[in-house]
């Protein structure tokens, strides 16, 4: 994969939802680039891409991935806690809900 394609795909993954103009502003602010530069990278119009720029984009993507994994772990722990609470109240009555919560916790925890 070329660097231009990698940069464009990474920016698309990092781009927040919302209007396009808002995306440029938010991406530019998050990466420390200008809005024009972000737009050029996003649409693969940049003539060259510095190694420092790619390092910044890759670091932001890695940080986002770690944040997503961390969030999934927190969700998994929440589901485990809820299952334990229901287990303490009435395990027979809440059996289906407890099983569902434990399955969700396993899925979120990886």
1-55, pLDDT tens digit by residue?
Answer: 688 899 999 998 888 888 888 888 989 998 999 999 999 999 999 999 999 999 9
Pair 61, 31 in one domain: yes
Pair 50, 80 in one domain: no
Pair 48, 73 in one domain: no
Pair 74, 95 in one domain: yes
Pair 35, 77 in one domain: no
Place of tokens 């530069």: 37
Would the pTM count as exceeding 0.85?
Answer: no
Pair 91, 49 in one domain: no
pLDDT of residue 1: 67
Is there a domain that residue 48 lies in?
yes
Tally of structural domains, the chain = 2
pLDDT of residue 43: 92
Average pLDDT over residues 83-92: 93
Note whether 46 and 85 are within 8 A (CB). Answer: no
Dihedral angle of Cα 6, 9, 13, 17, to the nearest 10 degrees: 150
Pair 46, 9 in one domain: yes
**Parent domain of 90:** 69-104
Per-residue burial over 65-92, b if 16 or more Cβ lie within 10 Å, else e, is eeeeeeeeeeebeebbebbeebeeeeee
54-81, pLDDT tens digit by residue?
Answer: 999 999 988 887 877 888 889 889 999 9
Pair 40, 12 in one domain: yes
């Amino acid at each position: 994969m070329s660097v231009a394609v990698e940069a464009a795909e990474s920016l698309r993954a990092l781009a927040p939802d919302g209007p396009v103009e808002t995306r440029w502003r938010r991406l530019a602010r998050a990466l420390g680039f200008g809005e024009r530069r972000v737009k050029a990278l996003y649409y693969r119009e940049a003539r060259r891409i510095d190694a420092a720029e790619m390092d910044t984009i890759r670091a932001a993507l890695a940080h986002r991935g770690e944040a997503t994994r961390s969030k999934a772990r927190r969700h998994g722990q929440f589901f485990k806690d809820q299952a334990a609470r229901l287990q303490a109240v009435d395990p027979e009555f809440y059996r289906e809900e407890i099983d569902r919560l434990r399955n969700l916790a396993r899925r979120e925890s990886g």
